[in-house]
């Protein structure tokens, strides 16, 4: 292990000695979830499970691209010009996603659903289906015409949004992070001060682990495709802190000798190919960590690093070099957390 990151302040009391250490998990959003917590309250696992499941179900019911009839699915299918009252969580995530799209010049784009589908990563034909073909350039051009997030009109005050016609929202790059935040807040409201929440690799830790240590988590590191050394491990104390990772290995396929990851650059309509293997972002909010990690993954090593530095984001970039080796770089905000 080569790097240890610790938040600048550790607040609150560690759980009392002898507090029960608990863990539950399950499946959601096409991936797995896990919650670990320290029970100093007389809460049964069933009560905690029901609370967690309630938050996860709410995010799916509102924001799933896969669930026919979710609020997002109904918005995506709605006729041009229709207005829709968005439920609160949907509106929160849309607001953050539009901010991220503006800030990243459209590298992050919540209206990229048509492109995501075209490349086989959405609810349409999958890249895993037998006979799946790479899209031709005219199809990419046609899809690009539906991805302008600036055509979305919405009113944060009333929570209403207009479907401009043919825009397919996709919150897969941000909703898991929001789900983590919701679960963590719900646990806190139940009196659970010490918990580690994970949905599909996005994590938030609050309070302390059993024994009074912070929740120590190793950042996900990309698999090495050719022989060569792995990158050093970065271990983080998740104390009131979240981490999200976007990677070119998470969902991807190989076709015609090229590697096609599920991160699409909505500016040219094609999966990214700048050689970035992964980006991990630490942030107080897991929703923002998730949005930023995707945005930086699209922007690539240079533009991504520049934007992260400009916004004071704590990020770790892992590049694939021609030799097949992995090389890391970190932003000053992440360096400031190094012990």
List residues near ligand AMP by CB under 6 A.
108-110, 112, 116, 121, 170, 172-173, 246, 250-251, 262-264, 266, 290, 294, 297-298
Q: Which DSSP helix (H) or strand (E) runs through 242?
A: strand 241-247
Q: Which DSSP helix (H) or strand (E) runs through 138?
A: helix 137-144
CB closer to Mg ion, 162 vs 294: 294
CA–CA dist 177, 282 (Å, integer): 12
User: Which of Mg ion, ligand AMP, none sits in contact with 109, Cβ below 5 to 8 A by type?
Assistant: ligand AMP
Q: Which of 173, 192, 199, 282 binds Mg ion (CB under 5 A)?
A: 173
To the nearest whole angstrom, how small is the minimum distance from the Cβ of residue 149 to ligand AMP? 9
Q: Give the E-state strand segments of 92-229 in sequence order.
A: 153-155, 160-162, 195-199, 202-206, 215-218
To the nearest whole angstrom, how small is the minimum distance from the Cβ of residue 72 to Mg ion? 16
CB closer to Mg ion, 173 vs 305: 173
Six-digit token string for 220: 């996900």
DSSP string, 92-109: HHHHHHHHHHHHTTTSS-
CB closer to ligand AMP, 52 vs 264: 264
CB closer to ligand AMP, 177 vs 214: 177
CB closer to Mg ion, 163 vs 293: 293
Residue 206 binding Mg ion, by CB under 5 A:
no
Residue 294 binding Mg ion, by CB under 5 A:
yes
CA–CA dist 80, 151 (Å, integer): 11
Residues 79-97, buried b or exposed e (16+ Cβ, 10 A)? eeeeebebeebbbbbbebb
CA–CA dist 122, 132 (Å, integer): 13
To the nearest whole angstrom, how small is the minimum distance from the Cβ of residue 210 to ligand AMP? 30
Instruction: Considering only the stretches 83-91, 112-120, 127-135, 291-299, report the one whose residues sit in contact with Mg ion under the rule CB under 5 A.
Output: 291-299
| Binding residues vs Mg ion (CB under 5 A) | 173, 290, 293-294
């Amino acid at each position: 292990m080569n790097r240890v990151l610790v938040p600048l302040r550790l607040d609150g009391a560690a759980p009392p000695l002898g507090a029960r250490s608990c863990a539950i998990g399950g499946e959601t959003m096409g991936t797995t979830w896990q919650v670990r917590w320290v029970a100093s309250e007389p809460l049964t696992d069933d009560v905690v499970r029901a609370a967690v499941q309630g938050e996860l179900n709410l995010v799916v019911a509102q924001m799933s691209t896969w669930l026919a009839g979710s609020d997002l699915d109904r918005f995506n299918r709605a006729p041009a010009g229709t207005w829709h009252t968005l439920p609160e969580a949907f509106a929160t995530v849309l607001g953050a996603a539009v901010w991220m799209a503006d800030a990243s010049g459209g590298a992050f784009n919540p209206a990229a659903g048509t492109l995501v589908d075209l490349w086989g990563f959405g609810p349409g034909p999958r890249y895993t289906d037998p006979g799946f073909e790479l899209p031709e350039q005219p199809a990419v051009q046609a899809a690009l015409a539906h991805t302008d997030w600036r055509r979305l009109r919405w009113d944060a005050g009333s929570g209403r949004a207009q479907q401009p016609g043919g825009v397919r929202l996709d919150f897969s790059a941000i909703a898991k992070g929001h789900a983590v935040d919701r679960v963590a807040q719900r646990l806190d409201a139940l009196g659970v001060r010490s918990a580690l929440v994970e949905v599909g690799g996005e994590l938030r830790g609050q309070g302390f682990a059993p024994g009074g240590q912070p929740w120590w988590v190793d950042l996900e590191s990309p698999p090495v495709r050719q022989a060569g050394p792995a990158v050093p491990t970065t271990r983080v104390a998740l104390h009131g802190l979240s981490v999200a990772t976007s990677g070119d290995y998470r969902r991807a396929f190989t076709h015609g000798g090229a590697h096609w990851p599920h991160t699409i650059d909505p500016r040219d309509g094609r999966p990214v190919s700048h050689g970035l293997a992964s980006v991990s972002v630490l942030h107080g909010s897991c929703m923002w960590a998730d949005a930023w990690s995707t945005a930086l993954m699209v922007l690539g090593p240079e533009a991504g690093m520049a934007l992260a530095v400009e916004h004071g984001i704590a990020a770790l970039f892992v590049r694939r070099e021609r030799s097949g080796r992995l090389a890391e770089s970190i932003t000053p905000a992440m360096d400031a957390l190094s012990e």
